[in-house]
Every structure is written in structure tokens, then in C-alpha cells.
Structure 1
Amino acid sequence: MFADLNSPALQPESIKAGLIPEITICEGLRMKLDEMFSQEEKAYRKIWGTTSVVQTDKSYVFFSNQWLYLAVMCKKYAQALYQYCDFFDNHMRADTDVMNCVKAQDYSGSAYVNLFDSDDDREYMKKFINGDPEFRPGKNLVNTGDKIRSCKDIFGSCVLAKMDVPNASSAYLGNLVYYLAKRPALYDELEIEISGQTEVLDSVIKLPAVVKDCAKAIVDYIYKLDEFESIVERIEVMDQSVKINTGNTNGLLPEGNWLRYMFVRPSSGMFDSESSSDKTRVFDTEYLIKVNDKEYRCKLTTEWVGTEITEGAQGNNYLQALIKLVGRYYSDVLEIKEEGGIYYLHVVKREFLISDLPDAFDSVFAERYITSLLTKPFVILTGNSGTGKTRIAKQFSQYLERTIDGKRNWLIVPVGADWTDNTKMLGFYNPLEAKYVSTPILDFILQAIKNPTVPYFLVLDEMNLSHVERYFSDFLSAMESDEEIPLYKVSSEKVKDEEETSIPEKIRLPKNLFVTGTVNIDETTYMFSPKVLDRSNVVEFKPEKEAVLSLITGSIDVNDVSRAGNGVAEGFINLAAMIRNGVCNVGQLKLKHVLEFLDSIYEELQESGFEFAYRTVKEIRQYFAAACELQKEEFNLTRTMDEQIVQKILPKIYGDRKQIGELLNTLEEKCQRGIEGDSEEMTLSLKKIEQMKKRLDKYQYASFM
């Protein structure tokens, strides 16, 4: 339930005043922050470009956007700390028997003991309440005279102590972080927004002064990036160890295998043992190192020559060798710098560019698919069987693949005809065994929640083999509303799945989750309702003749896609967050042309019952923003409007000649004129309208699919 507040993984990053960046917040996120402060305080209003004022019950506070940066820097610690505050306020404060135990410091009393599932949780809460200085900063929760302090005040003092904010007027920072910790989805969105503007989140990491801890911090980071793939040519597997061979580096490092004791394997006596001084000789963390398609379990040894990294080169030569290796093999994304005797790890994030994509994505369909993903996290790919829908979704996932804790960030799940409710997606609680029966999809979502700055791609293959609304309606609604999805409601005890993993009572779909549904159209499948079509971009796949015939003379392996460089996956999610938060670099004159075109077709659509609403207009604007960012100088207004007509407007149109005959004629006429005059037609839309009209003539009925 509770995390150890002393865990190194939770501690806020060290802040260097000169490196605190200027932060701008897009209008969409600013409105959400405005709503948060309106709920918690009296008002929040922007008064200058990056400064706002918060009106509290007692006074007002000038609020700099840099505070949002500080809030993101302490996010992990804040969310762990909030769990204590929330539990105390909701499960303990109003219970007289429990509070009597707390005031008497009787932590063996049954009223207190029965609140918790484990001894660790009881002990952690005891330390939190008593203000144990080795557990958290700040005062005892129980004041003199047995008065109970506000958890929000305790929270604020802990955060300020951890962040080492010197100015007393900055005490309101504690309130800001508290309000954000109450709203994990907004906190995630803020983190992604800020990481998209700066290199804050990872770029300036202060490395420990102790050699072995510094080495572990560096090793952990490069393992997180690519599981040592970039240095695999330097890795040698021995009977009891895995070493980094520094020989034959063309002068980069001296000969001598300086890193020969870097990792130990289970066959080594060091793997589980301790030295005579009771200091562990290996770190607890296990790594899976892949060499020649085999995986080897290892632990990083603590036996690094030297103690402090400020010692002479001979004293820390192992570490210096590691730093040089990082400089050689990870220079595109990492740089280790020394400033005033302190080492910092600088991370270079990379922009997601359409021009960097491999040849597999050199098609109009692929570009439309990627633009749609950036616009909204749910895209439908439709077309005949074998046209490459699943392949393009899989290839894009592979291109942005990241592996964290041995699990990759994409999942393809075939939908079955027996998907009659949401249990196939999100599982269910089994009361007979008091266990939650999880699913690969739920496990995948929980993994995405833990890693908000990495994109996660879920592909539902052949989505319409069952009625989509029966199993997907909760999911779809949660995507739109940002509301939580309840998974179960039983006792206050933590529910676990078959593998003893804790399952939360409810989940909120993370912003870094991208869902693609593939759809085959034939007599064995079900059609989509207007509700589903209205909430996605529908990209129809029709392979180009040249691409198909080229397989005769070209390579048959159409599934081979190289992984993007380090930082590109994060760049993709940063771009998506920016677009969904309202950033749009399409000029106002161009947007006026878009508005005029939509206005010209609205009445005809309304008369036939297919008018679009606020959601559609918002998503069309976001699509234009995404296309503008991806295409840069090649951005074309008419072509982008053409894509949105065929992906957002036409999919909802269906009926007989009386219902849609005249409407199709009107849309055809509008699309022939283009959006900026008579210079360019909307070819995609015209082709689809012609196809629908032919069906109408032949069958007296037509629909998009």
C-alpha cells in the first residue's frame, strides 16, 4: 500500500537555480489548472505571460510557472507522500478508536493494527504520524494537547524540505504539489507538457559522489534506454560474470579490461553473498543482458575501485572507463559533465520527425495513421483483409519500441466473437477465490500508467468480430471523459491477481496509451455504431498498386523495421501532448478557410441528421495542428481538409437515396472546389463519395464501410 519515503527512486532531483527553465503552459492545460485552483482556493488568473495570481482564503500569492517545473521534479515523492495523507484523512481521522491509539502512541492496539494488510504498512504509517526524522522531514502529526495537524500542512512542509526551497513566500508550492497529487491524471499531463518543452525531467541528473552509486546511476539509465544494446559489441559473457571489455577500443580506453568485474551471474558466489564487513558486494537490482539472442541474469557489483569520484584518475578508473564508453556509444542522447567537482548526466531529447521514418512508412496511409494517433489516442484502420492494417500498426509500434522491466511498450490482441462484455479487456473480480482475474490488456495499461513519458500502443485486431459497444463502451467513454473506470468494489483490502500483483479498485486511462482498432469488412463482421465512429479517425487502407507489385522484384520481408533512436519515442508522446493541449501553429488565415468550409457543409449535414458537434470541430483542429507539425513546409490545407472529410465526416453517413442522395451530391460539389479556391480538388473524398454513390445506385443503400 505505502512506499518507503526514503527510497532513492522517490527522491526529487537536485535543482540548480541557473538551470530552472522558463515554462509556458498551453491554454487547454491552463484551463484545467484554473479549474483545480477554483475547486481548492478562490481563484487563479494569469496576469502576465508566465505568472499568475492565486486568491486564497487569507490573501493572494504570485504564482510563477517555474513552480510547475518544481512540482514535476518532485512528482514521485509527492504521489507516494499523498497516499499517507489520503489514507489518514479518509480511514483514520474520523475513527475515534483509531485516533485514541494514535494519541496514546499505542500502535499495537487492534483498532490501529486492523487497518493494515501488512506489518510494513503499519510501521510506515507510524513513522509518518510521529514525524520520524529518518523517514520524513517535518513535525509530528499529533500536536501538543493531542490536536491533530492538517495533513496538507504536513505534506507541504515535507515537500518544501525535500525541494530545499529557501524563500518563505514559496510555501504555497506545497499546496500546489498537494493539489496535483490529488489529481494524478492532471499531474501526468503536466509532466508530459513540461517534458515536451524542456530537457528538465531527465536532462540534468546530479550523479552521486560515491563511485559505486555513481556507476549504478549511469548503468541504470543506459539500461533503461536500450538494455545495453548500444554497447553489446563490448560485452563478454563469462562463467560467473558479464564484463565490459575495454580492449581494442582504438585508443578510447587503455588495454586491461578495467570493467572486468562489472556484473556477476547467479553462478558466482557474490550474487547472493555479503562480504565479511557486512557490506553487500552486489546491488539488489537484477538486469537481463541479451547477447547473441540469449539472456543472462546479472547483478551490478559494488566493488568499483575508489570511493569518491573526486579522487585521482587511478582511484576511479573503472568509473572513468564507463563514462568514456557512454561518451562513445550514447553521445546522441547522453552526455556526462563535471561541474565544480560534481558529475551531471545530461539527456538530449530528440524531436519526432516524419522525415526520419523508415521506408515502410513511405505512404499516404501511414502518414494519415500517424497524424491521427497524434490527434487522438483512438484510431480505426479499415479495409479488406490483407491490405496491411495490422502490419502498419505493428511496424509503427516497433519503430517506437521501448523495453522497461523486460516488457515492451506495444501489444497486439486479437478480438474474438466471444467478447460480449468488458471482462475480456479489463478482467473481473472472482469472489470465490478473492482474486482479480486480470488480462494482458489491463496489465499493459497498468504498465503504461507507471511510465507516463513513454508511449504505449495497444492494437485490437479485427475489432468488429464482436459488437464493439458491448466490450468497448466503458473504455471509449473513459477516453472522452477522463473519468476513472471501476474494476471492482469489495472490502478495503488490496485485491491481487493470480500472480499476487495488486490491482487498483479503479483506473484512469493514461495519456500515453494509444489504441488502434483494425476492421475487416465482410459478411462475418459487425458494423460500427455512429457513436464509435464519431470518437475516432477512420483511415481506410487501400494498398497502392505499385507498392504491391514491387514485392515481386523487391524484398519480401515487409515486417522488418528498425527501432528509432533513443529519445524519439519520448519525442512522439511530447508532440501528442502538445497537440492535444491546444498548441496549433496553423496560421489564423488558414484556420479561417477551414472554418468557412465546415460552415458551408454544416446545414446540408444537419438536414440529413449527420451534423457534427463540438468534439468533431475540436478534433479536426487538432488534426490540422498535427499535420502542420509533421509536414512542416509541405503542409497543405486542402489535402488536410480532404483527409478530415474522408476520416471524420463521411464515415458517419449512411442510408438510402432519400436520406443521403442529395447530401452526397452537395459534398461532391464542395470537394471539387477545394478549400482555398478552385486550384485543388479533395481527391480522397471525391473518390469515396463516388464509390458511395455507385453503391447507392446498385443497392439503393450506401455507407462508408
Structure 2
Amino acid sequence: MQQIKDTFVSDPEAAQYIFSDTQIQSLHHAWHCLDTKRFVILSGLSGTGKTALLRHYARLYCKLVGVDPEKHSAVVAVSPDWRDPSGLLGYLNALHADPTFQAEPGLRIVLGAARNPELPYFLILDEMNMARVERYFAPFLSAMEIKGPIVLHSNEDNVNDVPPSITWPRNLFIGGTVNMDETTHPFSDKVLDRAFTFEFWDVDLQGYFERQPAEHRNTAVEKLLIQLQEQLKPIRRHFGYRVAGEILAFVRDCTDGGSVTTDAGNRLLDQAIFSKILPRLRGEESPALITALKGIGDICRDHSFDQCVQKIESMRQQLVATGITRFWS
């Protein structure tokens, strides 16, 4: 555990992210406390580094034990059209004269873990609940619980070196990231009972800004983003490190290092806030949402962000008229 923590601090790539000791320790112990069930789910705010934490942990862990991270880990993006395990594990193509097996990236990790039980393998499922987990992940859910086999195809013999089934590999570390919104699916107890679930909602913008190279920093914009963040927190519509970094990159590129206090720079910053932060605003009428809209509107008005002010005012009027508001109306 101490080696992992130290490596997260010393590794240049991992050090760019804000991960607390508690987050790293919780992930480590959740992946190691059960000898045959190494399954975690990271949920919460988009852009807080959930996938990055899993990816960097896997990379650094592999380096510590002396194996190639490229061969022992895979990040698989879950597709909304997955209705069975074929998108994750592949499928048998019986249309050829000689049957072939169409393998998918997830299968490489699973087979590697089965063939090398003394070495670690990491399977990271990005946006895990874009499809119904109970459908495409069913073989894993069953095998990890009863320590039974994962069935890959129905042929008696291997097909393209893919066996009919494999014994559940105890050295397979599985991590999934999820966001809960109108585009995703909820989890059943069947899934949650098998996983350790962690939430990522806290965002340390000041700490994030302090880790950036000096030439990338803009204290005026950083202060503004922190002010907006404070208004959004009470309604849980605040933003993560990704949004903050992209706004800074947008302003830096547009102004070519110049000041945002000029009329042209101010209009660009107005556009950046409009494009990256305001679309997050939505919800039913409540004191917290009313207060948040007023607070954000006041900040934008103080900075003469005319485009943002107009949009927030239209959203406020929509809230009064219908009891619900959203950016996309």
C-alpha cells in the first residue's frame, strides 16, 4: 500500500491528478480484501478522475510487480448497444466453414489472467452503465460469486486458441466507472452486492490549479471558476477537473497569453462559461436552485458576461413559468 501511495506522488503523469490518500487506500483494500472477488465501481461527478484513478493504479501496480501495463490492463468503453457479453468477450462466428472466434479487447485480459494466475490483470470498464450491466456482464457476475467457469463458446475444442470456458481467475481486477443521469441505467442489487462502490463528488479546484505548469495558469479565470463552483455545489451541478482544465485551455488558446480583461478576452471568457458550465444547469424548482441561478447570474453580471446573463435569465423565467428549467430548452 505504501509503495502505491508513494508512486502516485512521484509519478509525473499520476501527480497531475488530485487523489486523496483515502481514495487510493480504499481502492487498494477493496481490490485485495476478497481473494476471488476483485470488483469496484466508481461513481459520481463527471470529470473528477474516476477512470484516471483506475488506469493509473493499474499502470503503477503493474510496474511495481515488473509486468508490462500494456499487456496486463485494458480500458474498455461500454457501448449503449451491448445486450449480451459479445461486446466485451467476443463471439463465435459459425458462418465460416471452419468456425472462428471474433475476440474483443476484454477477452485478451480475461484469457491472460486465466493463463497466468500468478500475475495481475486489470479490466477497466469506462461508463459501465451506458448499457444494462446485468445483461452484458452476466457471466462475470455469476462466475465471481460461485467461483465457477466463464463460458466463452459452445464448441468442444478451442477456436482460435479460445477455450470453451475458463475457470474464474482470482488475479483479475475489475473496475467500472459510472455516471448517473438520464443517459445511463441504474444498477440492480445483484451487481451492487458483488462490488465495492465509491462516490467521487469532492473537487479541489485550488489544488488542481496549483499543480498546473506556471505558463498554463490564469489567476483571474481560476478565481472566477472557484466562485462559480461554490454556487453550483449546493445543487450538485458543480464541475470537475476536466471542465476547469478545458476552460483554461480555451481562454489560453484564444487570447494567446493575453489578458482576459480586454473586451475581446472578456467575450471569449463569456463564451467559455456559456459553453462548458451553463449546460450543466437543470432541475425542478427549489430554494437551492433559485439561489444558485441568482448567484451565478450575479457573478456573470459583475463580469459583464452578457451571453451568460441572458441565458440564466431565460432559465429563471422558465423555472417560474413551468416549475422546471434546463439549459437545452
Q: Normalized against structure 2, the TM-score is what? A: 0.56
Secondary structure, in 3 states, of the residue corresponding to 2:197? strand
Q: 8 Å contact 2:157–2:163 — kept in the other structure?
A: no
Matches within 5 A, 1:466-481: 466-481=131-146
Secondary structure, in 3 states, of the residue corresponding to 1:408? helix
Residue aligning to 1:367: 25
Residue aligning to 2:174: 515
Q: How many angstroms apart in 1 are the aligned matches of 2:70 and 2:5?
A: 28
Residue aligning to 1:390: 51
- Give a deviation string over 1:463-513, Cα, whole Å, max 9, x none: 0001110101211110111111222223x44321xxxxx110111221110
Q: 8 Å contact 2:125–2:175 — kept in the other structure?
A: yes
Residue aligning to 1:533: 192
2:213 equivalent to 1:550:
no
- Give a deviation string over 1:609-667, Cα, whole Å, max 9, x none: xxxxxxxxxxxxxxxxxxxxxxxxxxxxxxxxxxxxxxxxxxxxxxxxxxxxxxxxxxx
Name structure 2 gaps, 5 residues minimum: 10-14, 215-329
Q: 8 Å contact 2:127–2:176 — kept in the other structure?
A: yes
Higher relative contact order (CA 8 A, sep 6+): 2
Q: 1:354 to 1:553 in 2, by over 3 A?
A: closer
Residue aligning to 1:562: none
Q: 1:355 to 1:515 in 2, by over 3 A?
A: closer
Q: 8 Å contact 2:4–2:60 — kept in the other structure?
A: no
How far off is 1:450 after superposition?
2.4
- Larger gyration radius, structure 1 or structure 2: 1
Q: 8 Å contact 2:48–2:203 — kept in the other structure?
A: no
How far off is 1:382 after superposition?
0.4
2:98 equivalent to 1:437:
no
Aligned length: 199
Q: How many angstroms apart in 2 are the aligned matches of 1:528 and 1:352?
A: 33
Q: Normalized against structure 1, the TM-score is what? A: 0.27
How far off is 1:353 after superposition?
4.4
The residue type paired with residue 202 of structure 2 is P
How far off is 1:432 after superposition?
1.1
How far off is 1:552 after superposition?
2.0
How far off is 1:390 after superposition?
0.5
2:151 equivalent to 1:494:
no
Matches within 5 A, 1:505-654: 505-545=164-204, 548-555=205-212
The residue type paired with residue 377 of structure 1 is R
How far off is 1:516 after superposition?
0.2
Q: 8 Å contact 1:485–1:507 — kept in the other structure?
A: yes
Q: CA RMSD in A?
A: 2.3
Q: How many angstroms apart in 2 are the aligned matches of 1:538 and 1:455?
A: 21
Residue aligning to 1:449: 114
The residue type paired with residue 543 of structure 1 is D
Q: How many angstroms apart in 1 are the aligned matches of 2:24 and 2:50?
A: 9
How far off is 1:446 after superposition?
1.1
Secondary structure, in 3 states, of the residue corresponding to 2:62? coil
Residue aligning to 1:499: none
Q: How many angstroms apart in 1 are the aligned matches of 2:24 and 2:140?
A: 25
Matches within 5 A, 1:102-501: 353=3, 356-359=6-9, 360=15, 361-375=19-33, 376-402=37-63, 407-433=70-96, 434-490=99-155, 492-496=156-160
How far off is 1:533 after superposition?
0.7
Matches within 5 A, 1:659-670: none
The residue type paired with residue 22 of structure 2 is V
Matches within 5 A, 1:44-83: none
Q: How many angstroms apart in 1 are the aligned matches of 2:103 and 2:175?
A: 21
Q: Which has the higher helix share?
A: 2
Name structure 1 gaps, 5 residues minimum: 1-350, 497-501, 558-705
The residue type paired with residue 367 of structure 1 is Q
Residue aligning to 2:302: none
Q: 8 Å contact 1:401–1:408 — kept in the other structure?
A: no
Q: 1:551 to 1:353 in 2, by over 3 A?
A: closer
- Give a deviation string over 1:561-610, Cα, whole Å, max 9, x none: xxxxxxxxxxxxxxxxxxxxxxxxxxxxxxxxxxxxxxxxxxxxxxxxxx
Q: 8 Å contact 2:157–2:164 — kept in the other structure?
A: no
Q: How many angstroms apart in 2 are the aligned matches of 1:541 and 1:406?
A: 25
The residue type paired with residue 477 of structure 1 is S
Secondary structure, in 3 states, of the residue corresponding to 2:178? strand
